[in-house]
Amino acid sequence: MVDFTKIQDSIPYILSGIPILFQVVLVAAACGMIIGIVIAALKITKSRLLRFIGHAYTAIFRGTPLILQLAIIHFGLPQITGYVTSGYESAIIAFSLNSGAYISEIIRAGIQAVDKGQWEAADALGIPYMKQLRSIILPQAFKNILPAIMNEMITLTKESALVSTVGVLDVMRRAQVVGGEKALYFEPLLFAGLVYFVLVMVLTLIGQRVEKAMRKSG
Amino acid sequence: MTNNLTNEKMIEVEDLYKQFGKLEVLKGISTTIKRGEVVAVIGPSGSGKSTFLRCINMLEQPTKGKIVVDGFELTKPKANIAKARQHIGMVFQQFNLFPHKSVIDNLTYAPINVLGLSKEAAVERAEKLLDRVGLTEKRDSFPNQLSGGQKQRVAIARALAMEPNVMLFDEPTSALDPEMVNEVLDVMKHLAETGMTMVIVTHEMGFAKEVADRVLFLDEGILMEEGRPADLFDNPQTERAQKFLEKVL
């Protein structure tokens, strides 16, 4: 039988995993953004080597499971570096690197979706490359990029549950702890699911608003 | 005819070749355009006339050959192409206005950020040009609020805001509804009267006849024939030019 009153007193405990969830998502999104911009820049340069590096980076991080990347960073790397990272640190590193790969693809696609006539017009006016990118191309690419970045935030929010595998007490992990203590798994897990669902819905709504605003600025 | 001809060379094209992969688009074009000259480039589609024009400001990198504009060799290794382009205006078939910038910002961006003009000077210059192309009232509009003809007039004004020595036009009226063609051609005609050196790739034979000092007929990447409009249009020498003109006149 399902009986949520049995976990009533544990609900605040589970909810207090939300701040750590936000921390992981926000820090990883910010770092992922920086990495994404750098990798996207590599992908659109004229240098073959730099382009290769950019594409190889993306291929590796998109081509392997995130939980494996997290495990390698948390359990594997200390064996080589001799430096043990906390679960939180490992999670931030793994999520940032992984998110950077996806964001770089979003930015690259956004830039390349801008009409090539825009580059040519800027070229013809003698505008230097970096100024073209900053003032002419990126403001137009932004419209394609921002809604996709919102999607990436949603993905990150859900994937953040993987930090439970390296001992970070997030919503997911706390639900498991409650389950273990009370020998009662269905209710706490379902409640955790509700927490993620609500967060994702809120982000989705924000995303829709953003998309609408972008379209309006036509 | 503009009677602004001088003997000073403005554009020199020497033995220009351009290949796209295995496709040879330009096969050794040579010509000299004088300061103040208005040159129309005509020919069937796929003849290489747009590529020829785009090579002049290096939007297409020539495979071989030499391009000199106003004494500056653009095909020289490590030539400062961006610097040279500041003096070569270009107008595109698809306008290519910056959609996120207002008309006035489209006109002032490059003068401020490339030439280093003060904002006031750039705005003053832009306003004069908007007046010249008859779009003063569109100063603060955005490109998506303009008709095709208006967009192209803004694009011409944007190029002129750099005070170029040469203006290149790549089929400037081909993307326009028929009723808007004339407003753009009028602006170009006035520009020709000011003594601007102009190279115009066009399908508007009437305009070429009226305004050009010289017409180049390109076919299959070769400059088949060139001459004064009256001679070339009424008395073409090559069979290809005859056939082409029969179809379009």
The reply to whether residue B59 touches residue A139, judged by beta carbons under 8 angstroms, is no
pTM for the full predicted model: 0.84
* Tens digits of residue pLDDT in A79-121: 999 899 999 999 999 999 999 999 999 999 999 999 999 999 9
State the Cα–Cα distance between residues B12 and B115, nearest whole angstrom. Answer: 25
Comparing alpha-carbon positions, the chain A residue that sits nearest to B84 is A126
Listed in sequence order, the DSSP H helices in A44-137 are: 48-63, 66-71, 77-81, 87-112, 116-124, 129-131
**Beta strand pairing status for B166-170 and B23-34?**
unpaired
Q: Determine which of A144-153, B12-21, B162-171 has the lowest per-residue pLDDT on average.
A: A144-153
Q: Which residues of A touch B84 (CB under 8 A)?
A: 126
CATH architecture of A8-216: Orthogonal Bundle (1.10)
| pLDDT surpassing 90 at residue A191 | yes
Tokens 């608003």 correspond to A209
Please compute the mean of the pLDDT values over residues A199-207 and round it to a whole number.
93
If you ran DSSP here, which 8-state letter would residue B102 be given?
Answer: -
| pLDDT surpassing 60 at residue A218 | no
B98, B110, B158 member nearest A126 (Cβ): B110
pLDDT at A142: 87
pLDDT at B249: 78
H/E element holding A181? helix A171-182
Instruction: Give residue A37's pLDDT band: very low, low, confident or very high (50, 70, 90).
Output: very high
The reply to whether residue B110 touches residue A117, judged by beta carbons under 8 angstroms, is no
State the Cα–Cα distance between residues A123 and B129, nearest whole angstrom. Answer: 21
Structure tokens at B103: 């008309």
ipTM of the shown complex: 0.92
Does residue A120 belong to the interface with chain B, where contact is any CB pair within 8 Å?
Answer: yes
| pLDDT surpassing 90 at residue A215 | no
The mean pLDDT value of chain B amounts to 94
The values of phi and psi at residue B17, to 5°, are -120, 140
B85, B94, B144 member nearest A125 (Cβ): B85
Does residue A180 belong to the interface with chain B, where contact is any CB pair within 8 Å?
Answer: no
Distance from CA of A163 to the nearest CA of B (A): 41
A115 CA to centre of own chain:
28
